[in-house]
Amino acid sequence: MEKHGRIIKGIAGFYYVRTEDDSLYECKARGSFRNEKRKPLVGDYVTISILDEDKKTGSLDQIMDRKNELIRPLVANIDQAIVIFAVKSPAPNFMLLDTFLARMELAGIDSIICFNKMDLDADGSLQKQIREIYEPLYPVIFTSTKTGEGVDVLKGYLHKKCSTVAGPSGVGKSSLINMLQERTQMETGGISEKTERGRHTTRHSELIEVEKDTYILDTPGFTSLRMDDFEKEEIEEGFREILQYKNCRFAGCSHIHEPDCGVREALLKGKISKSRYDSYVKMYEECKEKRRY
């Protein structure tokens, strides 16, 4: 018997497929995928044939065409990315955030920025600084899993979409996801002091159904992201504000040292934030460096 479904989790060669009738099957990919070099991804819409209905096992027979696919995190058919940082502990690394945002821009995926642990920003000064940089560019949400503030706003953005949730380790991604849904409780850094590793961090990606047709993908935290798989000329496409102001004298302007550069002019006038511009320059240099290897 054949069924349609979606891969919600992949562990050690097994794919867990949630089917239209809301069952979950453990599937092995058909051997031919390996020959075709097509690897099933979390988020893929698939056709499976049932091997054993009692044991809920199946064979993954067919992968539907993908709307998009991401490498970091490895996932297919995403509608948007929710990038989560903490206002503090850990302190936000804006270069890391900007790299993530640029990668999403280049992949054609919309981002929403969520700053968690707002309870640690009692006087709101961190919030103010963050808003100044990012609010002109992206939706910015502030949340706290301690007070519950902002969680409903976040939920509103997720409605009927498939969102990947990404961010550094320890910012509260799993804690937030636990507040958003009841079905699967993710392990968080707080509640698992008993385990050998001392602390439970997310180690594989999993699609979680928050409500009907609303999915979020919890992913392991990242500590670094690079842009060196892109050409330096492509980096500007990762910055909405640079695309907006690049009325420069020279075609192919790097926006770093050329005269009559619209981007540096906008920077001087305060229309582009220094922090974002610095991230752009760092990424550009990073891409230039790699040519020497």
Q: If residue 162 lies in a helix (H) or strand (E), which one and from where to where?
A: strand 162-166
Does 253 interact with Zn ion (rule: CB under 5 A)? yes
Q: How does DSSP assign 213-261, residue by residue?
A: TEEEEE----S----TTS-GGGGGGG-HHHHHH---SSTT--SSS-SS-
Amino acid letter, residue 236: E
Q: How does DSSP assign 259-280, residue by residue?
A: SS-HHHHHHHTTSS-HHHHHHH
- State which of residues 174, 205, 219, 279 lies at the interface with Mg ion (CB under 5 A): 174
Closest of 221, 246, 214 to residue 233, by C-alpha:
246
> Rounded to the nearest whole angstrom, what is the least distance from the CB of residue 115 to Mg ion in the complex?
17
Does 232 interact with Zn ion (rule: CB under 5 A)? no
> Rounded to the nearest whole angstrom, what is the least distance from the CB of residue 9 to ligand GTP in the complex?
15
Query: Could you list the residues that contact ligand GTP (CB under 6 A)?
Result: 116-117, 119-120, 144-146, 167, 169-175, 188-190, 201-202, 220-221
d(CA 177, CA 63): 28
Nearer to Mg ion, 58 or 167 (CB): 167
- The binder of 261, among Zn ion, Mg ion, ligand GTP, none, by C-beta within 5 to 8 A per type, is Zn ion
- The binder of 40, among ligand GTP, Mg ion, Zn ion, none, by C-beta within 5 to 8 A per type, is none
Binding positions for Zn ion, 257-276, rule CB under 5 A: 261, 263
The string over 277-292, giving b where at least 16 C-beta atoms fall within 10 Å of a residue's C-beta and e elsewhere, is: bebbeebbebbeeeee
Nearer to Zn ion, 165 or 261 (CB): 261
Q: 3-class DSSP state for residue 86?
A: strand
> Rounded to the nearest whole angstrom, what is the least distance from the CB of residue 164 to Zn ion in the complex?
32
Does 175 interact with Mg ion (rule: CB under 5 A)? no
Does 202 interact with Mg ion (rule: CB under 5 A)? yes
Nearer to Mg ion, 210 or 266 (CB): 210
Kind of pairing between the strands at 80-86 and 110-116: parallel
Closest of 38, 88, 86 to residue 65, by C-alpha:
38
* Contact set with Mg ion (CB under 5 A): 173-174, 202
* Contact set with Zn ion (CB under 5 A): 248, 253, 255, 261, 263
